[in-house]
Structure 1
Amino acid sequence: MPNDTVIKVQEYKNTLIQKAELLITKRFPEKIVSLNELLATPMFNERNFDEVHQDLNIPALPPVLVKQETATEDGDHPPTKRARNDVLISGVPVLALPSGTVPCNKPLCDMIKVVKPIIRKLVEDSNLLKMWISFMIPKIEDGNNFGVSIQEDTLAEIQTVESEAAAFFDQISRYFLSRAKVVSKVAKYPHIDDYRRAVVELDEKEYLSLWLVVCEVRNRYSSLHDTVMKNLEKLKKPRSSNAESLY
């Protein structure tokens, strides 16, 4: 008699197989349709780059007058108190945030709140499909390996999708880190417009990247659904018995 642990493991496998088959036949088509609808919303469709710009809240402070000592006529040495000849020059203070903190880009943060659960779901679904196919791979035998090769190729494609989805998360974190570095440059050198422009370009690039991520997630769902449905029979029954046809 099998013990309780073996029974529970088998129940887990059966439940996983049922979830995976429901996922690929019903949930994937629903996901593809919902992602298409999301890409048609104003947040992702026909949005001007100007709509994703964010005020840095770091003003360029007005110039201030700074005293500078000049040398005496007798030499290049610093002047004495009697001979000191002060000159007023124009300067700009740095590392000043008179208006408070620098906010994140709100339009992009709103998009990220929508995109991150989509990426996470793709990772979870890929992992489920990966285990589903792994459970259906038969024991290693000689001959009649065509169906098994289909399983292995499909499994490799799913693993690639899972890795790409995880990389999308890293892309989002790298955006915030890169933006923080450029914003710190703006805070240190508020009078250099190139740093401010760099923030704008970085935000526009991230907007395009988030749109592309949603497109890629939809494409991955579509390709996985197409591949699995075309090879569903071989994935579920990789080996067929030809013994009866020999006689």
Structure 2
Amino acid sequence: MAQTEAAKKAKEFHETLKVDAENRIVQKFPERIIHLNELLKMPEFRIAATDIKCKLEIPTIIKVENNVNNCEGKTQGKRPRLDSNSHDTIPGQMLIPANKKIVEVIKILKPNIKQLAEDTNALKMWVSLLIPKIEDGNNFGVSVQEDTLAEIQQVEVEATNYLEQMSRYYASRGKLISKVCKYPYIEDYRCAVEELDERQYLSMSLTMHEIRNRYSTLHDIVIKNFDKIKKPRSSNTDSLY
């Protein structure tokens, strides 16, 4: 029957997930911890706060009209029209670059955040598939699985938040840059950009440390309770979901 065949394939899929997750926790997690330690030694993560600033080359806009009729010092009620006789110190299509140092750190950090999210998702499925059928008065040991699952889910949520934080940084900086372009004579907006860059760099440095620490914590918890997670009670393996 089609249903029986589908159930068989689903069971094979579950077994594949279990093997993959166990390989991740036993083999890959220690490798990732070592890799992250090496990344943290890179110069990109050893930049002083004062060196992370990116000078904004956005001068005050000065419009100069070549029309001699406008040289009488009269106040115009309308906004000056930009035409072939007008000149602007900032070209209309001028590219204002991002903070290159921040961008380089993001290129290093982002793949590791995605990897953490993928790894925790695999572990979450693994533990979920190992939870036995609920039976009255016979759930001893299942609490270990539940606590481990809760910890894994928390790390997965954190990984997602890390990614969202990067998107928010770019959006926030873009808004501030637009303010600097619109009001180049207000120094506070320029200072706000520098403060945002400094705060973002500190946050990303801490995030990289946190990713390494999360891998270490999850590996420690799962390895210490490996047998209890796989067999929370002396029940038949057929009772698994």
Q: TM-score range by the shorter chain?
A: 0.7 to 0.9
Distance 2:210 2:72 in 1: 56
Distance 2:168 2:202 in 1: 15
Distance 1:66 1:168 in 2: 57
Query: Which residue is equivalent to 1:186?
Result: 180
Residue type at the aligned position of 2:7: V
Query: Which residue is equivalent to 1:223?
Result: 217
Query: Which residue is equivalent to 1:20?
Result: 21
CA RMSD of aligned residues (A): 2.2
Instruction: Deviation per CA, 1:26-67: give whole Å up to 9, x if none.
Output: 10111111111111111112x122432223231134698982
Alignment of 1:2-151 (within 5 A): 3-45=4-46, 47-61=47-61, 67-68=73-74, 97-98=90-91, 100-151=94-145
Change (3 A) 1:6 1:186: same
- Higher Rg of the two aligned structures: 1
Distance 2:193 2:30 in 1: 38
Tell whether the 8 Å contact from 2:117 to 2:159 is kept in structure 1 after alignment.
yes
Query: Which residue is equivalent to 1:239?
Result: 233
In the alignment, structure 2 segments of 5+ residues that lack a partner are 65-70, 76-87, 236-241
| TM-score when normalising by structure 2 | 0.83
| Percent pairwise identity | 53
Instruction: Deviation per CA, 1:170-208: give whole Å up to 9, x if none.
Output: 100110111111111111111111111111111111111
Residue type at the aligned position of 1:14: E
Structure 1 position 96, deviation (Å): 6.3
| TM-score when normalising by structure 1 | 0.81
Equivalenced residue count is 215
Tell whether the 8 Å contact from 1:58 to 1:98 is kept in structure 2 after alignment.
no
Greater RCO structure (CA 8 Å; 6+ sep)? 2
Tell whether the 8 Å contact from 2:61 to 2:90 is kept in structure 1 after alignment.
no
Distance 2:30 2:44 in 1: 22
Instruction: Deviation per CA, 1:146-183: give whole Å up to 9, x if none.
Output: 31011011111111111110000110011011111111
SS at match of 2:45: coil
